[in-house]
Amino acid sequence: MRPSSLFTFTLLALSPAIQAQTTGLELFKAHCAGCHGAAGEGSRGPALKVPLLKRANDLDSLVSLLRRGVSGSEMPGIPSQVVSDEQIRTLAVYVLGMRTYLKDAVSGRIERGSTLFRIKGKCLDCHRVNGEGHVLAPDLSDIGLLRDARWLQRAILEPEADIFDSFGGYRWVITLPDNYLLVDVTTKSGEKIGGHRLNEDAFSIQIRDGEGRIRSFLKSEIVELRKQWGKSPMPSYKDVFSAGELNDLVAYLGSLRGSK
């Protein structure tokens, strides 16, 4: 039995219990929380507690997405035999209600946060924002659309807390920073290169090295490929920023929603 068929069979076997669920919270816990986080904060799937959902932001569009799933990803569709039309609309309303807005998601002075980001934090030494900075770490140009204030604060204080450590291979449907992985490559010629993975397939791997250069290697040329699951080169800033400064920095990051 194919994995998708097994998933559908399992859901159908559980359908009486699932059909009994009537609240959005119950439906969310049953179908969404395992990947998107108990409060929509994001986990293996993207965060939902953000100002703008990436794929659907009105009721009808979200209902359609929940029914069909997302092609090429781990998100399956939810059959009508499992969740009724009325219930799936209840679920969609609940998910849309999780969205945050800038005035709710962050507080503090964005302008001061921008200065802290650039001067005291020296974040542009590694990160990039709307074309400014470097590419050694994930681009943060639209991080305010992808993550809420709580996640941003945790990432600053505990950089390795939300880096996944269980992806067996590169996931083409997931973008940085959720696909972030540090690697060390040793070639047959003795060259050793460290950096973060950009792409990988069964035959090759591409990484960005410590100087920002993109390097591509055939795996047949590699004698050792060490993957540092759950590791980050970013230090904790808990002893760098005061509570007020941290609040302002998070406010700035929350305001980043792509170039205008």
pLDDT in tens, 163-205: 655 455 555 545 555 567 888 999 999 999 998 888 888 899 9
Residue 186 pairs in a beta bridge with: 192, 224
Pick the CATH number of 182-228 from 3.40.190.10, 3.30.160.250, 3.40.50.720, 2.30.30.100: 2.30.30.100
| Helices of type H across the chain | 3-13, 15-19, 24-31, 33-36, 59-68, 85-96, 102-105, 110-115, 143-146, 149-157, 243-254
The encoded tokens of residue 183 equal 């690697």
- 3-99 CATH fold: Cytochrome Bc1 Complex; Chain D, domain 2 (1.10.760)
pLDDT, tens digit (0-9, with 9 covering 90-100), for 79-127: 999 899 999 989 988 898 887 754 544 456 888 999 999 999 999 998 9
Q: What is the pLDDT of residue 15?
A: 45
Q: What is the pLDDT of residue 11?
A: 45
* Residue 259 scores a pLDDT above 90: no
Q: Which amino acid is at 231?
A: K
**Residue 154 and residue 147: Cα distance in Å, rounded?**
11
**Residue 11 and residue 100: Cα distance in Å, rounded?**
31
Backbone angles phi, psi at 184, to 5 degrees: -125, 130
**Residue 11 and residue 3: Cα distance in Å, rounded?**
12
Domain map (residue ranges) of the chain: 3-99, 105-160+234-254, 182-228
Q: What is the pLDDT of residue 13?
A: 42
Residue whose C-alpha is closest to residue 101's, from 52, 154, 136: 52
105-160+234-254 and 3-99 share a CATH fold: yes
The encoded tokens of residue 252 equal 């700035």
Residue whose C-alpha is closest to residue 241's, from 251, 256, 233, 231: 251
Q: What is the pLDDT of residue 7?
A: 43
Residue 38: Cβ-neighbour burial (10 angstroms; 0-12, 13-18, 19+): exposed
pLDDT, tens digit (0-9, with 9 covering 90-100), for 50-72: 777 878 878 888 999 999 998 87
- 105-160+234-254 CATH fold: Cytochrome Bc1 Complex; Chain D, domain 2 (1.10.760)
Comparing 236 with 47, the larger pLDDT belongs to: 236
* Residue 45 scores a pLDDT above 90: no
**Residue 96 and residue 92: Cα distance in Å, rounded?**
6
pLDDT, tens digit (0-9, with 9 covering 90-100), for 3-26: 444 444 444 444 444 444 578 899
* Cis check: omega of the bond before 138, within 30 degrees of 0: no
Contact predicate 18/82, CB 8 Å: yes
* Residue 46 scores a pLDDT above 70: yes
**Residue 164 and residue 179: Cα distance in Å, rounded?**
8
Comparing 164 with 35, the larger pLDDT belongs to: 35
pLDDT, tens digit (0-9, with 9 covering 90-100), for 205-226: 999 888 888 999 999 999 999 9
Q: What is the pLDDT of residue 180?
A: 74
Across 136-142, average pLDDT: 87
Residue whose C-alpha is closest to residue 174's, from 68, 35, 63: 35
Q: What is the pLDDT of residue 18?
A: 44
Instruction: Please identify which residue in the block is written with the tokens 């591509």.
Output: 216
Q: What is the pLDDT of residue 58?
A: 83
Q: What is the pLDDT of residue 9?
A: 40
**Residue 235 and residue 76: Cα distance in Å, rounded?**
37
Q: Is the dihedral of CA 181, 186, 192, 193 positive or negative?
A: negative
- CA angle (152 as vertex; 150, 158 as ends), nearest 5: 95
